[in-house]
Structure 1
Amino acid sequence: FSEPDPEDRVINEYVSQLAEHRNQLWEHGLIVQRPPLDLKIHKVKPGDWILIKVWKEETLKPNWEGPYLVLLTTETAVRTAERGWTHASRIKGPVTRPHWKVISTPGDTKITLKR
């Protein structure tokens, strides 16, 4: 079993619609099982981009890695293809996806990338 390609729009759209349908069923009382929490501790939804906090041994300071595409969410965690399940206390987001521009002049052999 391999992880889905995060850029696959069909899967992202399907998961988003499935999560929205589940929330509507729960709001109307059609789902008996309740989630562990009545409130979410984050505002991230599938399809958003997030940063994940990691700790480096040398400095013992938090660093942020990413951005990563969110595939699934629960009330307390998010799932990405690259990092798996991550608790909401270790995420920052949603953030905008970085856009890169190629800056070069015609005939120049050097390519410059700018964020």
Structure 2
Amino acid sequence: MTMTSTANWKTGSSPHENLMGRPMSLPHSPPFSVKQALPEPATTDYHNFKPGDLVYVRIYKRNNSLQAWWCGPLLILLTTHTAVKCKGKAAWIHASHCKLAHHPKKPRVERYLRVALIVSLVICVCVLLTLACIMLIWPTWLFISTYDGNYLYIPQPNACHTNHQANRIAHRNRRGVTSGVGLDKASNRT
């Protein structure tokens, strides 16, 4: 049976085929209806990956139990119907061992810039709050000093009567009156 069903290398057909005009039916060959039910070979891609996509690749031989199951994201350079070629990997990887990276890691520079922006905003808010507190507690410090020709007037916080006395002493000094110690109220008037 083997000799009759085996194709000749010169003719390309078996002796049974030459005699009967059809291939020999063997006991282990499926019936014709089963052959029709078998699926056709795939003509479309097994995956939807394109060059330029980022994918995670499954790791089957991990060094320890704490190692991640997926490595990546890796950049796809080339694709076939069933496999992909990734940057940084020498071998082709079957598409069933890959999954699309929907959220690739952001570059560290962006994260550092975001942190620096937040820190600078916090510092600016702290400085502004400090200045606002100082202005509320000591409002006279906004006018640090004024020059009136003969003397330098530095206002004191929350001391209105002290400012008035300083003005009187400065006015006396301009007129040539000495210190107000020992002078009575009548002589101090102008």
- Aligned counterparts, 1:24-35, within 5 A: none
2:46 is equivalent to residue 46 of structure 1: no
Greater strand share, 1 or 2? 1
State the percentage of identical aligned residues.
32
Q: Alignment partner for residue 69 of structure 1, among 67, 71, 75?
A: 75
User: Shift of the alpha carbon at 1:57?
Assistant: 4.4
Say if 2:84 is the partner of 1:78.
yes
Gaps of 5+ in 1: 1-35, 107-115
> Do the aligned partners of 1:53 and 1:62 also contact (CA within 8 Å) in 2?
no
- 8 Å CA contact 2:50–2:79 kept in 1: the answer is yes
- The partner residue of 1:98 within 87, 105, 111 is 105
| Larger of the two Rg values belongs to structure | 2
Structure with the higher helix share, 1 or 2: 2
Q: What's the offset of the Cα at 1:62? A: 6.7
Q: Which deviations, in whole Å up to 9, do the C-alpha atoms of 1:62-87 show, x marking residues without a partner?
A: 71100011000001000012113111
Q: Distance in 1 between matches of 2:46 and 2:71?
A: 20
Q: What letter matches 1:68 in structure 2?
A: L
Task: Give 1:75's aligned amino acid.
Answer: H
Aligned-pair distance for 1:44?
0.3
**Alpha-carbon distance in 2 for matches of 1:62, 1:40:** 28
CA distance in 1, matches of 2:46, 2:68: 20
> Which protein, 1 or 2, shows the higher relative CO under an 8 Å CA cutoff with sep ≥ 6?
1
**What amino acid does structure 2 have at the position aligned with 1:67?**
P
98 and 61 in structure 1: CA distance in 2 versus 1, 3 angstrom threshold? closer
SS of alignment partner, residue 92 of structure 1: strand
Runs of 4+ in 1 over 4 A off after TM superposition: none
Deviation of residue 95 (structure 1)? 2.9
**SS where residue 89 of structure 1 aligns?**
helix
- Unpaired runs of 5+ residues, structure 2, are 1-40, 121-190
TM superposition shift of 1:89: 1.3
